[in-house]
Structure 1
Amino acid sequence: MDLFEDNAPDTGGNAHEFTVSEISGAVKKTIEGEFGHVRVRGEVGRVTIARTGHMYFDLKDDRSVLASVSWKGQVAKLTHRPEEGMEVIATGRMTTFGPQSRYQLNVEEVVPAGAGALMAMLEKRRQALAAEGLFDEGRKRPIPYLPEIIGVVTSPTGAVIRDILHRLRDRFPRKVLVWPVAVQGKSSAAEVAAAIRGFNAMTPGGALPRPDLLIVARGGGSIEDLWGFNEEIVVRAAAESAIPLISAVGHETDTTLIDHASDRRAPTPTAAAEIAVPVRAELQADLAQLGARLEQTLHGGIDRRAERLRDLSRALPRPEALLMGPAQRLDALDTRLPGALRAAIARKRIELSDHPLRPGLATRAVERGRDRLGAVAGRLPGAHRAGLAQKRIRLQGLRLSPEALGRTITQERRGLHQIAARLRPDLVQAPLAQQRDRLTALARLLDTLSYKSTLARGYAVVRGDGQVVTTLAAAQAATTLEIEFRDGRMQTGAGAKPKRAAKPAASPPEQGTLL
C-alpha cells in the first residue's frame, strides 16, 4: 500500500464551488443582517471629503480601525461633523464594499462622546479661527450711540424677543426688524448665518432699510443647545458683518464662539438691549442740566465782561478833555479864514489884470456874436420859404417834363453805380455764402425728419375717411381707406375703386401709422 496515496487529498469531493461575487454577496448579507443598526464609539482618524460631497473617515481605538463613510445627503444632516482626534459616538449600519473586499460603517449621525470631547473640539476650533484673526480686537467696530433701526436675529416665539422689545421700549423706543431663525437644532447655524448676511445685504434707506445695529440673541441652555452658535459658518458671518453686532447667547456664564467674533458681547439678551440704546430720561435730565449750566455760564460771562467794561471806561479821559484841543484849533483857523480869503482874492485879481484876456474884450466878443445870431435869425423865415418854393418848382418840372425825369433817373443810376463800385464783393458774397450753407443744412434736416424717408424704407401711411388711422379699430370703422406709399397713393373700401394716385408734392410730415 502506497503511503503517499493514502494521505493524498481528495480532489474530486462534493464541496460547492463559489464565485467571487457569490462570496462577496454572502459576506455582505451576513454583515448587514447581523449589524443592521449599531452605535460605535471611537476616535476620529483621517477625514476626507470627496469632490462628490461624500465624506470618508476612520474610527479607531488602540487596537483596530473601522472605515466609515457618510454620503452627501447624510453629511448635510449631521449635527456635528467629525474632526480628526475627536472622540465620538457614530450611529449607522455596517455594510461591505465588494470591489475592495472590505467592510465599513455607513454613518448617519455623529455626536461627541461626552462634554469633554465637545469642549476639546470647541477649543480646537477657537484656536484655528483665532489664528485667522477673526477674534482680533482691532477689527471690532464701535457700537452706535443711538441707532435708528435695530435688527434682531432670534426665535420669534421665545421670551427673548419679548424681553428685548420691552427693554428697548422702557429705555429708548427704536424701530426693530426681527429675522426669525431656529436657535437650536441642525438648521440653527445655517439660518443664523443667513440672517446676519441678509441684514447686511439690505440697502441703506431702501423700502426696508438696513439696520444700524444687529443683536443675535438666545436664552440659556446646555452646550449642546448652544452648539449652533459655535459653528464656523456663524462665526465667519459675524466677523464679516459690516453692521456692528452684539451677541447675547445664553446666560452670563455661557460662552460661544460668536461672542469672540462679535463687536460686543452681552451677558443676557436684556443686557444687549441696554447696550444698544441709552436711557432717554437720563439723556433728557443731562440735557436739561447742561442747558442750565450753559445759561449760567453765559450770564456769568456777560456780567464779567460788563464789569470789565465799566473798569476800562473809568480809565478813559472825559469827552470834554478830548474835544478841547480840536476846538481850540478850529477857533484859531476860523480867526485866520477872513484874512486868508481877502488875500486870495487880491492875488487872483492881480493875476487877471496881467492876463491878455481882459473882461472888456470878452464882453465885446459876446456882443458881436449876439448881433450875428440876431441877423441870421431874421433871415431864416425868408430863406425857408424860398427853399420850399424852389423845391416845389423842381417837383412840378419833374412831373411835366419826361426829359427832365429821364435825366434825373440817369443821374440817380450813375450814383448807384458809383456806390456799387465802392462796395467790396467779398463783403457781399460772404453773407450770401453763409445763408446758402444754412439753407442747405436746413434742407438736409427737413429731408431727414420727413416721413417721406420712412416711406422709402417700406412703410406706409393709412388714412380712413380723410383722417390718419393709428389703430385697427379705426381702420375697421372707416368706409374708405387711403394708403400712401413712397411713389403714390391708393384707395380701398366700399365705393372706392383701387387706383394709383399721382406722386404727391412735398408737404409737411403728418403723424400716422407706419405699416
Structure 2
Amino acid sequence: MAKSSRSDSPVAGDNLVEYSVSEISGSIKRTMENAFGRVRIRGEISGYRGPHSSGHAYFSLKDERSRIEAVVWRTTFAKLKIKPEEGMEMIATGRVTTFAGASKYQIAIEQLEPAGAGALMALLEERRRTLAAEGLFDETRKRALPFMPRVVGVVTSPTGAVIRDILHRITDRFPLHVVVWPVRVQGETCGREVAAAIEGFSTMAPGGQIPRPDLVIVARGGGSLEDLWGFNDEIVVRAAAASTIPLVSAVGHETDWTLIDYAADRRAPTPTGAAEIAVPVRAELEAELAGLAARLRGATTRRLDLRRQDLRALARALPSLDGVLALPRRRFDEAASRLDRALDAAQRDKRAAFERAAARLTPTNLAASLSHRRQYVRELAFRGERHIERRSERARARIERIGATLSGEPARLFARIERGGERLASQLARMDAAQNLAGERRRRRIVAAERMLASLSYRNVLARGFALVRDEAGIPVKTAASLAPNAAIAIEFSDGVVDAVTRDEDRTSAGGTSKARPQPRPRRPQKETATPAKQGSLF
C-alpha cells in the first residue's frame, strides 16, 4: 500500500500513518476487488426504473436482512438474455467494487439469470395475469382462420428446420404462395424482431408488390424456458393481439406454452401442425367436391324426373285444345251473325231516318217554315211596338199624377220630370237596341234558311247539266216506263223548257233507257220565280 507524505511534526505519541481521502478510497477498492474477485449473489431486484439515459442500469439486490447496490454497464446490459425487472429474484454474477464518490460498495453485474425456473415461472404467471386483465387473451376477440388462404406469412428463422418443415407440409397438402419474414427466434432482440414482423404483415396493403398474407404463422422449434423467453415478451403479445391478420402460434413443442399462444387466434402444437391447420388437403377437397358434384347431379336428375311426372299428370288433367276453344268459337260465330243482322238493321234504320229527314227538307217545307218565321218576327215587332206604347202611356199618366200632386213644388217636379225623361230615353234607347238586335238575329236566320233553300233547290242540279222531264200535268217523270207513246212532255233545262213528244220505237226494253227526241219547238223561257206545282224527290 502506498503511503502518503507524513507530517513534519507528528503529535507526540501518535504513530498512525496519515492518508488522503483518495488514497484510502483507492486502497479499499483494490482490497475488496482482490479479496472477493468474481462473485455470484442471489437476491431480489429493488428500485429498478429501467436503463438510465446513459444506457447504464442502477438498482439494488436485497434479501430479508440486507441489500447491496448493483450496476449494469451499458455494453453488458445490451447482452443480457433476461432483462432485470422490479421484484424479480435473480442470480447476479460480477465483481464487488466500490464507488469512491459516495463511499458505497456495489456489484458490477456481468451476467444476470433468474434464480431457478420457479422464478421465471412466477414472473411469467404474473405477466400473464396482467395481460389477461387487459382483455388481450379473451376468447371473444379471437377470429376464425380462413378456410383456404391464398397467401400464408411465416415469421421464423430462415435458416432453421422449422421453415423447411412448414414449406414441405404446405406443398404436400395444398401448394400456395408463402411469404417468409426472417427474424431471430432466440436472444435479446428476438421479441422486438417478432413484434416488428407481425406489425409489418398487418401494415401491408392489398394488391402491393408483395402480396398481403391471409394468415400469419409465428413458428419456432423446441427449447428451454430461457430459449423461448422472447415469445413471452410483452411487445410480442401486444403485437399478436393487435394483428389485423388471423395469427397462428406454433412456438416450441406441444408441451411448451408461451404468452403469444394466449394472444394468438389459434395455437398449434408444432410448426408442422401449424401448416396443417393453415391449409386443407387438396386431394381431400377434390374428392369431397367430386362427391358433392355427383350428389348434385343425382339430385338434379331425380328432381327433373319428379317434375316430368308432375307435368304429365297435370297435362292429363287438362282438357283438349278443341274442347277449350269450342265454346269461345261458338260465341264468336253467334256474335258474328248477330253483328251482320245488326249492321243490316242499323243500315235500314239510318236509311229510313235519312229519307224522313230528306222529306222534311223539301223546298216547299223550307218555304213554309221561312214564311212562318217571318210572320213570327212581324208579330214580335208589332207586340213590341204595342208594349212600348203601353209603357209610354203608363209613364205619361204617372208623370201627370206626380205633377198634380207636386204642383206646389215646381222645381223638384221639374227635376223629377227631367230624371224620368232621362230614364225613359235610356229605356227607349235600350228597347230600340234590343229590337234591332232581335230583328238582326231573325234576319240572319231568314237569310240562312234562304241559303239552305237555294242549296236544296233542284235548279242547282240542272245547272250541272241535268234535265227535269215533266208530263202534261207538270208532274216530274222518274222512269221511262211511266210514259205512254206519243205523250207530250216538257224537258226543263237550267236556261229554259223544251216541249217534246215520245215515240214508240224509241222505247227500249224494260231496264233500258228511254231516248226522247224532242221536236223542234219554239223555246219557252221559264220564269225564275215560278214555283212548280209539285216537287219530286231527288234522292
Q: TM-score, normalised by structure 2?
A: 0.62
1:201 to 1:11, Cα distance in 2 relative to 1, 3 A: farther
Aligned to 2:206, the other structure's residue is in SS state coil
Equivalent residue in structure 2 for 1:111, among 110, 113, 116 = 113
Structure 2 match to 1:288: 290
For residues 218-239 of structure 1, the C-alpha deviation after alignment (integer angstroms, 9 at most, x for no partner) is: 1112222222212222222212
**Range 53-62 or range 227-236, more displaced:** 53-62
Q: 1:78 and 2:80 equivalent?
A: yes
Give distance in 1, aligned partners of 2:303 and 2:193: 61
Aligned identity (percent) is 60
State the 1:278 CA deviation. Answer: 0.8
- Partners of 1:258 and 1:341 lie apart in 2 by 100
Given the alignment, which residue of 190, 193, 198 partners 1:188? 190
**Letter in structure 2 aligned against 1:333:** A
Identify if the C-alpha distance between structure 1 residues 212 and 326 changes in structure 2 by more than 3 Å, giving closer, same or farther: closer
Match of 2:69 among 64, 67, 70: 67
Answer yes or no: is the 8 Å Cα contact 2:57–2:77 preserved in 1: yes
Give how far 1:364 is off. Answer: 8.7
The Cα offsets for residues 481-507 of structure 1, whole Å up to 9 and x where unpaired, read as xxxxxxxxxxxxxxxxxxxxxxxxxxx
Partner of 1:39: 40
Q: CA deviation at 1:196?
A: 1.6
Q: Which residue of 2 aligns with 1:145?
A: 147
- The counterpart of 1:237, out of the listed 232, 236, 239, is 239
Distance 1:192 1:22 in 2: 51
2:90 aligned residue = 88
Total equivalences in the alignment:
361
Please report how far the alpha carbon of residue 180 of structure 1 lies from its aligned counterpart in structure 2 after TM superposition.
1.6
CA shift for structure 1 position 126 = 1.4
Q: Distance in 1 between matches of 2:105 and 2:457?
A: 146
Q: C-alpha distance in 2, partners of 1:352/1:236? A: 107
For 1:272, which of 261, 271, 274 is the aligned residue? 274
User: 2: distance between equivalents of 1:299 and 1:362?
Assistant: 89
Distance in 1 separating the partners of 2:456 and 2:34: 155
SS of the residue corresponding to residue 19 of structure 2 reads coil
Letter in 2 for 1:42: G
Which of 261, 264, 280 is residue 262 of structure 1 equivalent to? 264
Q: Which SS does the other structure have where 2:48 is aligned? A: strand
What is the CA-CA distance between 1:51 and the residue it aligns to?
A: 5.0
Task: State the partner residue of 1:48.
Answer: 49
Residue identity matched to 1:118: L
Which 4+ runs in 1 deviate beyond 4 A?
9-12, 355-358, 360-370
Cα distance in 2, alignment partners of residues 369 and 39 from structure 1: 152
Shift of 1:293: 1.6
Measure how far apart 1:36 and its partner are: 4.1
1:28 maps to 29
The one-character-per-residue Cα deviations of 1:304-337 (angstroms, maximum 9, x if unpaired) are 1222222223333333333332233333334434
State the secondary structure of the residue aligned to 2:257.
coil
Q: Which residue is 1:377 aligned to?
A: none
CA contact (8 A) 2:170 2:176 kept: yes
Could you tell me how far 1:142 is from its partner in structure 2?
A: 1.6
Write out aligned runs for 1:395-414 (5 A). Answer: none
Q: 1:367: Cα distance to partner? A: 10
Determine helix, strand or coil for the equivalent of 2:110: strand
Question: Partner residue of 1:322?
Answer: 324
Q: What residue number does 2:352 align with?
A: 350
| Distance change >3 Å, CA 22–CA 292, structure 1 → 2 | same
Indicate if the aligned counterparts of 2:78 and 2:188 stay in contact, CA closer than 8 A: no
Letter in 2 for 1:188: C
Partner of 1:16: 17
In 2, the alpha carbon distance for the partners of 1:85 and 1:133 equals 24
TM-score by length of 1: 0.64
Q: C-alpha distance in 2, partners of 1:111/1:366? A: 142
Deviation at 1:60, TM superposition (A): 2.1
1:78 to 1:346, Cα distance in 2 relative to 1, 3 A: same
Mapped partners of 1:361, 1:309: distance in 2? 74
Q: What's the CA shift string for 1:84-138, capped at 9, x where partnerless?
A: 3432211222222223211111222211122222222221221222122221112
Change (3 A) 1:23 1:367: farther
SS of the residue aligned with 1:142? Answer: coil
1:134–1:73 CA distance, 2 compared to 1 (3 A): farther
| Deviation digits for residues 1-27 of structure 1 (CA, Å, limit 9, x no counterpart) | xxxxxxxx9656243332333322222
| Amino acid in structure 2 at the alignment position of 1:126 | R
Question: Which residue pairs with 2:252 in the alignment?
Answer: 250
Q: Deviations over 1:173-220 (max 9, x none)?
A: 110111122222222222222222222232221111221111111111
- What whole-Å deviation, never above 9, does each CA across 1:387-444 have from its counterpart, x for those lacking one? xxxxxxxxxxxxxxxxxxxxxxxxxxxxxxxxxxxxxxxxxxxxxxxxxxxxxxxxxx
Q: Tell me the CA shift for residue 362 of structure 1.
A: 11
5+ residue gaps, structure 1: 1-8, 371-515
Give the match's secondary structure for 1:49. coil
Q: Which residue of 2 aligns with 1:129?
A: 131
Q: How far apart in 2 are the matches of 1:161 and 1:271?
A: 12
Q: Map 1:336-375 to 2 at 5 A.
A: 336-353=338-355, 354-355=357-358
- Report the residue type matching 2:238 in the other structure: R
Q: Show the counterpart of 1:443.
A: none
Distance 2:193 2:36 in 1: 36
Quickly say closer, same or farther: Cα 1:141–1:332, change in 2 above 3 A.
closer
| Greater mean alpha carbon deviation, residues 283-292 or residues 187-196 | 187-196
Separation (CA, whole Å) in 2 of partners of 1:362 and 1:293: 97
Unaligned runs of 5+ in 2: 1-9, 362-451, 466-539
Q: Give the match for residue 199 of structure 2.
A: 197
Matches within 5 A, 1:374-389: none
Using the alignment, how far apart are the partners of 2:164 and 2:35 within structure 1? 53
Change over 3 Å in CA distance of 1:34–1:198 after alignment to 2: farther
- The alignment partner of 2:49 has SS state of strand
Question: What letter is aligned with 2:28?
Answer: V
Amino acid at match of 2:144: P
Q: 2: distance between equivalents of 1:108 and 1:114? A: 18
Q: CA RMSD in A?
A: 2.8
Cα distance in 2 for partners of 1:50, 1:65 equals 20
SS in 2 for 1:47: coil
Quote how far apart the aligned CAs of 1:67 are.
1.1
* Offset, 1:33: 3.6
Check 1:367–1:83 CA distance in 2 against 1; reply closer, same or farther (3 A cut).
farther
